[in-house]
Amino acid sequence: MEFRQLRYFIAVAEEGNIGAAARRLHISQPPITRQIQALEQDLGVVLFERTHRGVELTAAGTTFLEDARRLLHVTEISRVRSRAASRGEIGELRIAYFGTVVLHTLPLLLRQLLSVAPSATVSLTQMSKNRQIEALDAGTIDIGFGRFYPYQEGVVVRNVTNERLFLGAQKSRARSFGEQVHCSALRNEPLILFPREGRPSFADEVIGVFKNARVEPKVVAIVEDVNAAMVLALAGVGVTIVPETVAMISWPDFGFTELVGSKATVPVSCIYRHDHIAPILKTFLNLLPIRESQ
């Protein structure tokens, strides 16, 4: 059975006349007659009976007409979807993320994607940086987001944006620094940094910011994550440094002051394999104001 046979059959059934069907399809009558006969042989039934006005559907033909229309409809949908997929307009984008990038950066980027590819689907999985690289190699994710990725052959690391840094502390303590605080003013402040694992990490970047400002940070603890850092800061152990995405959230009894100094920002990066860029990923990457950093 061929799809052109289905088109010819439907045209003849709807017109009730082979000549009229031929004019509708812009072809001659003999090809239609041959294809209808071939279709009947393939199905093992008679689809039409001849009348003085043309042809009429048999009982088998009437039943088959419903199925033929359904088959052609599904075929057309498949054709449209496959072409859209090849253009990167539909498909699933599998994203892994680590850290606080999910709070602000990712929603903005995904909003852009869905505005140009509204039929696309997105899956999000929290995953450490090393696991993201493993998942890229295994083909189970398309792209990862985070900070400070180690070099891996075949993996592209790109900078997506830069986030400002903020001091975080008990609300009254944070207010005492004013709207902004320079790294040099924190020379003697006990610092609680994070995370402990996955070095180099956000903690290392913060230390680098202080050293670029010619300040030796007084680090009293490097804890597992931002939640642990904030708990200790609320307990009065010291102050912590967080990215802008954390400072944008309202936290009870916790305040933030912008950190200023030499390059007091941290990058948000994405990673993907240069040899495996699905059309939907290409669409996504084309939307990003990014530059290659490794």
> What's the whole-number mean pLDDT along residues 108-116?
92
Do 277 and 147 lie in a common domain?
yes
Name the average pLDDT for the chain. Answer: 91
Do 282 and 249 lie in a common domain?
no
Which tokens belong to 90?
A: 């539909």
Q: Which of 66, 86, 106 is the last residue of a domain?
A: 86
Residue located via tokens 């909003």: 111
- Closest to 100 (Cα-Cα) out of 285, 248, 205, 234: 248
> What's the whole-number mean pLDDT along residues 159-169?
94
Tens digits of per-residue pLDDT, 21-75?
Answer: 999 999 999 999 999 999 999 999 999 999 988 999 999 999 999 999 999 888 8
| Band of residue 291 on the pLDDT scale cut at 50, 70, 90 | low
Lowest pLDDT segment from 76-85, 119-128, 201-210: 76-85
At residue 125, does pLDDT exceed 90? yes
Do 148 and 281 lie in a common domain?
yes
Lowest pLDDT segment from 39-48, 156-165, 285-294: 285-294
Do 155 and 276 lie in a common domain?
yes
Structure-derived torsion over alpha carbons of residues 143, 149, 150, 151, reported in degrees to the nearest 10: 50
> Cα separation of 192 and 228, whole Å?
9
Strand partners, 258: 166, 180
Q: How many CB atoms lie within 10 A of CB 125?
A: 14
Do 222 and 147 lie in a common domain?
no
Q: How many CB atoms lie within 10 A of CB 61?
A: 21
Q: Which of 39, 57, 86 is the last residue of a domain?
A: 86
Which tokens belong to 281?
A: 């990923």
> Cα separation of 87 and 202, whole Å?
37
Structure-derived torsion over alpha carbons of residues 90, 95, 100, 104, reported in degrees to the nearest 10: -10
CATH number where 57 lies: 1.10.10.10
> What's the whole-number mean pLDDT along residues 232-261?
93
Which tokens belong to 278?
A: 């699905």
84: DSSP letter: H
Q: How many CB atoms lie within 10 A of CB 22?
A: 20
Do 142 and 287 lie in a common domain?
yes
Helices (H) and strands (E) in the chain, counts: 11, 13
Do 109 and 74 lie in a common domain?
no
> Cα separation of 273 and 268, whole Å?
17
Half-sphere exposure of 82 (CA within 13 A, CB side): 6
- Please count the residues of the chain: 294
Do 167 and 248 lie in a common domain?
yes
Which domain covers residue 45, as residue numbers?
3-86
Do 166 and 255 lie in a common domain?
yes
Do 78 and 137 lie in a common domain?
no
Burial of 2 (C-beta count, 10 Å sphere; 0-12/13-18/19+): exposed
CATH number where 254 lies: 3.40.190.10
Q: Decide which of 219 and 84 is more confident.
A: 219
Domain count of the chain?
3
Do 168 and 148 lie in a common domain?
no
Q: Which of 49, 65, 86 is the last residue of a domain?
A: 86
Do 195 and 206 lie in a common domain?
yes
What is the DSSP secondary-structure string of 187-212? TTSEEEE--SSSSS-HHHHHHHHHHH
